[in-house]
Structure 1
Amino acid sequence: MIENLTPQQCWALLQRDPTAVIVDVRTKMEHLFVGHPLGAVHIAWKEAPDWQLNNNFINEVSNTVPDYTTPILLLCRSGQRSLDAALALDAIGYKHLINIADGFEGPLDAHKRRGNQAGWRFSGLPWQQS
């Protein structure tokens, strides 16, 4: 089963459970230059410029989080790639998967801009850029 939790709920879970892991599934450039939650592990689900699936995604997650009962919080820009990645991990038996609703930047606003309504960064949760 995959839970959808708000960024605030995810932050609270991370504070309660030090074994939980945030996996940022965005591209390397998004992770580095747009920013990412503190402590997030970067494992791209798809990578630019061709946006092909990362064929090593499952292996990289399995190497990073070998215990299939560890809570994994998945993050992307707005919540769709992370949900797709969570479904793939669910299919191989991970037990505690959480999609971070609204992702890092949140949905588009009326001006077609992200980051003004919801998401990890908008919520004022700890993050950094490279």
Structure 2
Amino acid sequence: MGLGSAVGEVSPGEAWRVLCDDDAARLIDVRTRAEWGFVGVPDLRETGQGPLFIEWASYPDMSVNVRFAEEVEKALNGEKPSTLLFLCRSGARSLKAAEAVSAHYARTGMAVTCLNVAEGFEGDVDASGHRGSHNGWKARGLAWRQS
């Protein structure tokens, strides 16, 4: 990865391993406040840190947060992360968020690996049209909690 490179992608399990193995890695949950409150959030206490919660788009109109990359930088509060992992419901919004942050850091000259968490927190819909049982952070048995 590195400076000016494309955004990578990891499975939820790989994301968990990165967070456990690399103290300088951070998880950014880009879902909406409503999703955090009603669906739950990743529980990273075992890794010694917590996710950063920054909306990529705001409910109900889902307008994109044009200051997202700057808000990520502000939330990091001077930290120099090695890897930023981005998580949304299914992996679509988080990919766009990761691309925006990767481009932002490339412009500033700082090398940060940006990785999209494929499958997201709830994953794809199953045969019944429901999320959360087929794949994704929750269905893979990774730590989470109701907020």
Q: Does 1:63 align with 2:70?
A: no
Count of aligned positions: 130
After TM superposition, the structure 1 stretch with the greater mean CA deviation from structure 2, 92-101 or 117-126, is: 92-101
1:75-90 alignment, distance < 5 Å: 75-90=87-102
Query: Which structure has the larger Rg over C-alpha atoms?
Result: 2
Mapped partners of 1:60, 1:83: distance in 2 = 17
Question: Corresponding residue for 1:73?
Answer: 85
Q: CA deviation at 1:110?
A: 1.2
Q: Displaced runs of 4+ in structure 1, greater than 3 A?
A: 66-69
Mapped partners of 2:138, 2:71: distance in 1 = 26
Question: Corresponding residue for 1:49?
Answer: 60
Amino acid at match of 2:138: R
Question: Corresponding residue for 1:34?
Answer: 39
Mapped partners of 1:121, 1:67: distance in 2 = 28
Aligned Cα root-mean-square deviation (Å): 1.4
Report the TM-score, using the length of structure 2 for normalisation: 0.83
Q: 5+ residue gaps in structure 1?
A: none
Q: CA deviation at 1:102?
A: 0.2
Mapped partners of 2:64, 2:56: distance in 1 = 6
User: Percent of aligned pairs with the same residue?
Assistant: 41
CA contact (8 A) 2:123 2:132 kept: yes
Q: 5+ residue gaps in structure 2?
A: 1-5, 44-49
Aligned mate of 1:117, from 134, 138, 143 = 134
